[in-house]
Structure 1
Amino acid sequence: MFQNRLVNIMLIIIISLTLVGVVAFVLFNYFSYSTEAGAEPTIDQIIENSWETEEITTNLNDGSMFRGAFRIHVETKAGAEELQKRDFQIKNIIIHELAGMNAGGLQSREGLQTLEDTLRSDINDIMKEGDVVRVYTTQRMIQ
């Protein structure tokens, strides 16, 4: 290679340190950003990636009145921003879904879970940035 032995040793050390640094950087980025499959999000991630509706009051199919609010959790922050922009569409979906339900159906745990699952599916149909993970009922009153 070069005639000077000191230059050869110095080049080998510099190349070795650079290679170790690159490998360490790649491994650090790989392990710090990857999450386990199926890992539950933290409460801070849920709050950051969700949007809460205003209180909605509407009539039910049997003449009863429903007053409630929902928190919609999406996969990404961009999805949460899209939810805020689509608030009128989401309120429309909620009102239409509630219009076909009876007070008796919303009184039970299964009925409420069915409503949340249906809302999640319907909102996913209009979303472009990510998917809805879950819809939480934060307030509910039936008269």
Structure 2
Amino acid sequence: MKNNKIIIIMLILLLTITLVGAGAFIYIWKFTGEEHEEKEPSIEEIVENSVDIEEMTTNLSTDNFIRISFKIQTDSKEAKEELAQRDFQVKNLIIQELSEKTPDDLKGKDGQAKLENDLKDKINELMQEGKVVQVYIVNSLLQ
């Protein structure tokens, strides 16, 4: 009788240790293992999911004007198709955004990066299928 109690206690302890070990393994594997980061898209995927905004000329808030063109990268083919259909709205946003800028606002790397980010945010407000990942200025002439 005493032997049976000892065997039962040992089995319960062995089962408890096994369950705790399995739980620890699952926790470590699930939460602290290598993160499955999204891989960066290849250049082919970037080009495939991008829309070109042809060169446009518009006035700035001063007597100056700018001639500029963009490439807008989206996160999917569906987003690219939607963006292509919204071409007129995107051009309108660009004109509105540039009409409030001065030449000093657009000079240098910081000024261009701010314009790209502002346009990305404004265009993403329009988007329903996916989103804009990056806006690139591909040509710019400020006069």
- The CA distance in 2 between the partners of 1:100 and 1:37, in whole Å, is 39
Match of 1:141 in 2: 141
**Which residue of structure 2 aligns with residue 89 of structure 1?**
89
Q: 1: distance between equivalents of 2:38 and 2:95? A: 32
User: Could you tell me which amino acid in structure 2 is paired with residue 63 of structure 1?
Assistant: D
Misfit runs of 4+, over 3 Å: none
**Structure 1 residues 91-129: Cα deviation after superposition (integer angstroms, max 9, x where no partner):** 000000000001112111101000000000000000011
For 1:30, the equivalent position in structure 2 comes to: none
1:16-27 to 2 correspondences below 5 Å: none
Deviation at 1:62, TM superposition (A): 1.5
Q: Name the residue aligned to 2:41.
A: 41
User: Gaps spanning 5+ residues in structure 2: where?
Assistant: 1-35
- Alpha-carbon shift at residue 39 of structure 1 (Å): 2.1
- In the comparison of the two structures, how many residue pairs are matched? 108
CA RMSD of aligned residues (A): 0.8
Partner of 2:108: 108
1:117 and 1:80 map into 2 onto residues whose CA distance is: 18
Counterparts of 1:63 and 1:38 in 2: how far apart (Å)?
A: 45
Correspondence 1:33-72 to 2 at 5 A: 36-72=36-72
**2: CA distance, partners of 1:42 / 1:95:** 31
Quick check: which has more Rg, 1 or 2? 2
**What is the TM-score of this pair, normalised by structure 1?**
0.73
Give the partner amino acid of 1:94: I
> For structure 1, which runs of at least 5 residues remain unmatched after alignment?
1-35
2:62 & 2:38 partners in 1: Cα distance?
Answer: 40
